[in-house]
Structure formats: C-alpha cells, structure tokens
Amino acid sequence: MDPHRSLRASILFALGAAGCSSSSTASTGSGEPAVVAIATPTATASAEPEPPPDPEPDADRGRPVSKGIGWITEKDGSVHRGSRTTCDTAIQKTTCAGTENHLSCRADADCKSGPNGRCTSGIGQVGTYCSCTYACEKDEDCGADEVCVCRGTGTLSAPHSVCAKAACKVDADCPESSCGLSVFNNGCHEQVSLACRTKADACHTDAECHGRAGARGGGACVVRGVGTRDAASLQWECGYRSCVIGRPLVVGGEARAAGTASREDWRTSADIDIESLSPDLRAALAEHHAAAAAMEHASVASFARFSLQLLALGAPAELVAEAHRAALDEVEHARLGYGIASRFAGRALGPSILPEATAPLAADMVGVVEALVEEGCVGETLGAAEGMELERRAADRGLAEALARIAEDEERHAQLAWRSLKWLLEVGGEEARCAARRAFARAVSQYGRDPEDGPVVREDLGVLSARTLGRLRREVLAEVVEPCRAALGLAS
Ligand SMILES: [Fe+2]
Ligand SMILES: [Fe+2]
C-alpha cells in the first residue's frame, strides 16, 4: 500500500520530473521510488504510559506559600512576585558580526524601539540573522500593563530580562492568592505573563501537567490570554506544544502568529454538530482550532513576503502570481479555521494584531532557499498530507468539507514551493544547492520526531494524536519529500 502516491506524483508532475510517475525520475534504478527510512526516535516506540489521574482540587491552591520580596520560587517550582525588582540588563547573546544572512540591524545604535537595545546574532529556520534584542531593568521600561521579568526567573529561557503582559504586578494585587509567573513555550515561541492564582485553577505546578490528557511528558501550568481577556476570566491550566505545521511566518528565526480576539469578520459559518460534546471538550477544541487558524492567518503574511522575495530575485511571472493566489487561499483557510474554532467556542473568534507581518525583509539567495525548503518544500508538503489525514478521519461532514478545502489548497502550495525551489536552484548555482541541502537536513531531523500531544486528542474532530502525526510525518518525509529531493538532484 502506498498512501502518499498521489501527493508524491502531483509534486513530481509539477516539477516536470516524471510525467506523473513516481518511479522513473526519483528512482533507485530498479523502478522503485527512492523511498528512505526516517528513523523513529526510540522514545516514540515505547508503550504509551498511563496518564496519572488528575489531581484533586486543593483548598490551599492559590495562596502564596511564602511571603517575601522580589521573585519567589516555591519548593514545588512555582514562581510568584512579592515586590517590584530591578533586573540585570545583560544580554547573553552574540553581537552581530554583519556577515549573517539576514540583517534587520547592524549595530546597537540601530536598536531604539525598546530599552537597552543590542544588535545580536542568531541562527533560526531562515539561517543566520541579526535582530534587535532588548532587556528591561525595571517595570517602567515596559508598557503600562507589563512588568520586567529578570533573566533566569523560573523556567524563563530567554538569555535576558523581558517585558511580560501582567494582569497583576505583585502578590498584593491578588488579595487571597499570589501573582504567579507563567512561562509557556508553545513550540514556536515563549509566552511570558503574570496573573493571579485562583482556587478555580486547573493546576498549580508544571509537574501536575506531565503526562495528563494522554500527553507523553512536557507541558506546563500556564495562564493564557493575559492582555486580551478580561482578568476575571483568566485561569491557570496545563499548556502543551500546539504550534502547528504549515507555512509559518518566520521573523528573527521564530514563527510568529497573532493572538485570539473576539471579532466577527474573520470567520465562515461552520456547520459542525457539537451537541454531544461537553463544555470542557468544546473549549479545548476551540483553543486548538484557534491556534491552527492563527497559523493560517500568519501564512497570509508569509506568502505576501515570499512574493516580494520572488520579485526581488527576478522570478517568472507565473511563480509570483501563484504566490499571490496562495496568500488569498490562506485568507480563506484562516476564515475556515476561525469558523471551526468559533463554532466550538460558541462565540465569534478571530486574530488580534500581527505587527511582525511588516518586519524588515531580506532577499538574498541563500536565505530565501533555506526558508523555502523548510517552510515550503517540507512544511507545506507535510501540511498537505496532514490535511488529507485530518479529512479522512473527520467524522463530522461539515468539518470534513472545511478540511478537504484546506488540504486541496495545501497540495497546490507544496507544488508551488517545489517549483520555486527548482527555479532558484537553476539561477542560484552551487551556493543555492548547498543551502538547500543544509535546510533539508535540518528540516528532516526537526520533523522526524513526534511532536507532543496537546490537552485534547480527538482525531474525529480535527486533532491528531502526536503518535499519528509523528508517524505520518516520517512516512511523508521518506515517501514524498525524499523522492522529490532526488528529482532535483538533492538526494540525502
Ligand atoms: Fe493554509
Ligand atoms: Fe498553505
């Protein structure tokens, strides 16, 4: 059985590689497709551990165990803020050398839009880059509804202090509890915020979130929506990696997406039967689909930026036109996604602002090729396969129809990525080929392992398990991406 034959054939056909045959161009010489095995990490082969039972509600939850000054870390690892502090403004990052692939700054003097700005170097999905990094010293360096969180506080991984959205600023703002620090890495970026703990919280420590809801490890007790939701409705709960694959908007090496807002103008009506679902399940499904819709919304910016890069590099009209069409497809995907999320939430949801859409844009050959390989050739090909799998498993007709529309478009986007890469290799020579090889190697190792389950897994309702997703990705890397690489002379 060859479940990915049609996706492989359609991309090879778009490349003009094999006249729609999967075995002639991308072959091993024996007439068989050049399929390679993508190793499954050992951890994923083990049996699913039994999730521990949900903890009993704790009457003491929400009260600070310790009183004190500054940042207070309790024995259980939770962190709260006793009083305002002054932070060290050191930034433990390498200074920009000026030889990086993308330069959104060249010197510290270019970094004026925040406190203590430095132009620093990094390596991300788009290769090496320079961007401004800021470090606050005190709350006054941040916005009116923000506080300065010092480097090394709790599980904060940023190598410098950061401004964080705050529904409370110190413990005294939370009369019967404490003002907790939430650090949540959703797989794309780190979200840092502060909010009062309450007795209604679903969790108190990160340890309580390990292994719950069918997840294999990972997870953190976090609060989301600070700054966008009413403070009284904020609740601490387990958060898991939810950043979904597709064509991400990568700025400064990180995928960016808008937050969720209450609005009517970014959704289609979704005809999904929700009567039999519990309120908790509906809320979890709404959050998952809103996160996916935000990534579709970010893809609009990603394609808009890609079309400008194609123009800058002198691409054929047909590729530029298709990049613009793809951006319009992504508008529709975002509307469909927010339509599904709104249906589960029972209220209208849409995106908040996305300032990164207009971040400075470079168009050097190496950077464009590396980003295209990871975000387009690998990301969109996996996204297309994932969309087909979701549609196949969806039990609800309305949901299946929306997913079918998205999957069909994503397949066309994958074709566009591979055709764009073919053109870039033709004009970019050996430098472009080396960049593509590097990027494929990175992407295969990144996507060859299982992601982490989120708080809800309902394959009939559009949420695949980490195990299904990991297996699917490894299959597609071996049976679609590898033969298409071979067709371009880039076999691993
Ligand atoms: Fe999409
Ligand atoms: Fe797409």
Confidence (pLDDT) at 245? 54
How large is the average pLDDT for residues 210-221? Answer: 50
Strand partners for 179 = 196
Instruction: Tell me the pLDDT tens digit for each residue of 304-329.
Output: 999 999 999 999 999 999 999 999 99
Confidence (pLDDT) at 365? 93
pLDDT at 15 over 90: no
Query: Which region holds residue 489: left if phi is over 0, alpha if psi is between -120 and 50, else beta?
Result: left
Confidence (pLDDT) at 303? 95
Confidence (pLDDT) at 253? 66
Average pLDDT of the residues of the chain: 81
Residue 376 CA, ligand 2 centroid: distance in Å:
8
Residue 410 CA, ligand 2 centroid: distance in Å:
5
Distance CA 219, CA 211 (A): 8
Ligand at shortest distance from the CA of 331: 1
Ligand at shortest distance from the CA of 380: 2
Residue 135 CA, ligand 2 centroid: distance in Å:
35
Confidence (pLDDT) at 50? 36
| Helix or strand (DSSP H, E) at 286 | helix 279-312
Ligand at shortest distance from the CA of 417: 2
pLDDT at 242 over 90: no
Residue 141 CA, ligand 2 centroid: distance in Å:
38
Confidence (pLDDT) at 189? 55
pLDDT at 176 over 90: no
- Supply the DSSP symbol for 209: G
* Cβ proximity of 295 and 186 under 8 Å: no
Residue 117 CA, ligand 2 centroid: distance in Å:
35
Ligand at shortest distance from the CA of 296: 1
Domains and CATH numbers, the chain: 5-34+243-487 (1.20.1260), 71-239 (no CATH)
Instruction: Tell me the pLDDT tens digit for each residue of 278-303.
Output: 888 888 888 888 988 999 999 999 99
Which tokens belong to 100? 């990086």
Residue 322 CA, ligand 2 centroid: distance in Å:
12
13: number of Cβ within 10 Å = 15
Share of the chain above pLDDT 90, in %: 39
Q: How confident is the model at residue 127 (pLDDT cuts 50, 70, 90)?
A: very low
Instruction: Tell me the pLDDT tens digit for each residue of 460-477.
Output: 777 777 788 888 889 999
